[in-house]
């Protein structure tokens, strides 16, 4: 039995769920450590006919890299179950600019390869080509030369897209990981320009990509995550079910003055999985 106390309305909401979009860090693992409850939760989702997609704002790695990571942590999955802010950015570019564009990408080699795989041309700081669009991601291989060249093209008025807004990346290590949003703040100081659009959570484009992939109605998808201002904010914007887990950043005390409240608050994804099972088979 679930330890969660659910209202009749919450049970009715969970009974409709056909798919869950699972945030990764803080929801299924912390840093390089898989939570002890994750495997059982995923098994329950499968047993109850609920599909799942692993969702992350972190654009420093490709979908293939993330698949390798979660497999190494002991999770069985395939690449179709990974959805990243870089994939959301690719879909946005395809819809709004087409593929016949050259990109300057402020990001890792893995991120650049993701865009090449999708059919885009890449301009680097080392050649003299002019890009059509600047894309800024989470560049853990950042160089001063690449930052300066990105600023140059942004200052020249090129379309400017950020993969996600996170200022720092969560970690279980004693370090602050400076993320895409913080780099964009630096570039704004240098160029007086903010990104034209920021993909990734909480932009509803992230969740709409999953709805489209699986032919889901918003009420059939639960966005599951540990952050109010990204995961839960995106659920509200996309009109999907918001399921907050308290295994990561957000604490129960953070909810005292928060509005709107998530549809569901669970201690972790195992508690949520049990609640979904209970609601479907009551």
Q: Give the end of a domain, one of 168, 198, 228.
A: 198
150 in the same domain as 53: no
More confident residue, 48 or 172: 48
180 in the same domain as 91: yes
Expressed in percent and rounded to 5, the helix, strand and coil fractions of the chain are 40, 20, 40
Q: Which of 128-137, 168-177, 226-235 has the lowest mean pLDDT?
A: 168-177
How does the average pLDDT of the chain come out, rounded?
94
Measured between alpha carbons, how far is 263 from 255 in angstroms, rounded to an integer? Answer: 12
Q: In the structure, what pLDDT confidence band is assigned to residue 1 with cuts at 50, 70 and 90?
A: very low
The answer as to whether 71 is a domain residue is no
**φ and ψ at residue 212, rounded to 5 degrees:** -70, -45
Look at residue 3 in the predicted model and tell me its pLDDT.
Answer: 55
The answer as to whether 65 is a domain residue is no
221 in the same domain as 178: no
The answer as to whether 82 is a domain residue is no
Q: Give the end of a domain, one of 136, 166, 198.
A: 198
Look at residue 2 in the predicted model and tell me its pLDDT.
Answer: 43
144, 146, 147, 152, 154 from 191: Cα distances, Å: 15, 15, 12, 8, 7
Q: In the structure, what pLDDT confidence band is assigned to residue 127 with cuts at 50, 70 and 90?
A: confident
36-62 mean pLDDT: 96
The answer as to whether 76 is a domain residue is no
224 in the same domain as 181: no
168 in the same domain as 106: yes
Reference 226, options 71, 3, 23; nearest CA is 23
Environment class of 126 (CB within 10 Å of its CB; exposed 0-12, middle 13-18, buried 19+): exposed
What's 41's domain CATH number? 3.40.50.1000
Q: Give the end of a domain, one of 157, 183, 198.
A: 198
106 in the same domain as 170: yes
217 in the same domain as 160: no
The answer as to whether 15 is a domain residue is yes
The answer as to whether 62 is a domain residue is no
193 in the same domain as 248: no
The predicted-structure confidence for 58-88, as pLDDT tens digits, reads as follows: 999 999 999 999 999 999 999 999 999 999 9
245 in the same domain as 162: no
Domain count, the chain: 2
157 in the same domain as 225: no
Environment class of 30 (CB within 10 Å of its CB; exposed 0-12, middle 13-18, buried 19+): middle
The answer as to whether 81 is a domain residue is no
152 in the same domain as 106: yes
Domain span holding position 44: 8-57+205-280
The predicted-structure confidence for 197-237, as pLDDT tens digits, reads as follows: 999 999 999 998 899 999 999 999 999 999 999 999 999 99
123 in the same domain as 46: no
161-178 mean pLDDT: 89
98, 109, 133, 167, 221 from 141: Cα distances, Å: 28, 8, 20, 16, 35
Measured between alpha carbons, how far is 254 from 251 in angstroms, rounded to an integer? Answer: 5
Query: Which residues are bridge partners to 264 per DSSP?
Result: 243
The pTM of the whole model exceeds 0.75: yes
Q: In the structure, what pLDDT confidence band is assigned to residue 99 with cuts at 50, 70 and 90?
A: confident
In sequence order, what E strands does 85-174 have?
Answer: 102-106, 121-123, 133-136, 160-162, 168-169
The answer as to whether 146 is a domain residue is yes
């Amino acid at each position: 039995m679930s330890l969660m106390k659910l209202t009749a309305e919450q049970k009715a909401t969970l009974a409709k769920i056909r798919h869950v979009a699972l945030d990764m860090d803080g929801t299924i693992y912390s840093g390089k450590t898989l939570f002890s409850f994750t495997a059982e939760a995923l098994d329950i989702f499968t047993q109850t006919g609920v599909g799942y997609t692993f969702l992350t704002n972190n654009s420093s790695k490709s979908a293939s890299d993330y698949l390798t990571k979660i497999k190494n942590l002991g999770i069985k999955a395939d690449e179709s179950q990974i959805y990243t802010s870089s994939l959301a950015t690719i879909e946005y570019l395809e819809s709004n600019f087409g593929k016949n564009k050259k990109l300057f990408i402020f990001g890792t080699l893995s991120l650049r390869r993701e865009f090449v795989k999708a059919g885009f041309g890449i301009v680097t700081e080392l050649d003299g080509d002019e890009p059509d669009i600047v894309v800024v991601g989470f560049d853990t291989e950042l160089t001063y030369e690449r930052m300066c060249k990105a600023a140059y093209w942004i200052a020249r008025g090129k379309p400017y897209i950020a993969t996600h807004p996170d200022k720092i990346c969560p970690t279980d290590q004693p370090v602050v990981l400076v993320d895409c949003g913080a780099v964009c703040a630096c570039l704004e100081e240098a160029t007086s320009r903010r990104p034209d659009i920021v993909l990734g959570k909480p932009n509803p484009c992230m969740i709409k990509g999953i709805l489209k992939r699986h032919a889901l109605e918003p009420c059939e998808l639960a966005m599951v995550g540990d952050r109010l201002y990204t995961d839960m904010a995106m659920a509200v914007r996309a009109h999907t079910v918001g399921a907050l887990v308290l295994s990561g950043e957000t604490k129960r005390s953070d909810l005292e003055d928060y509005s709107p409240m998530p549809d569901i608050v669970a201690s972790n994804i195992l508690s949520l999985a049990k609640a979904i099972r209970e609601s479907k088979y009551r």
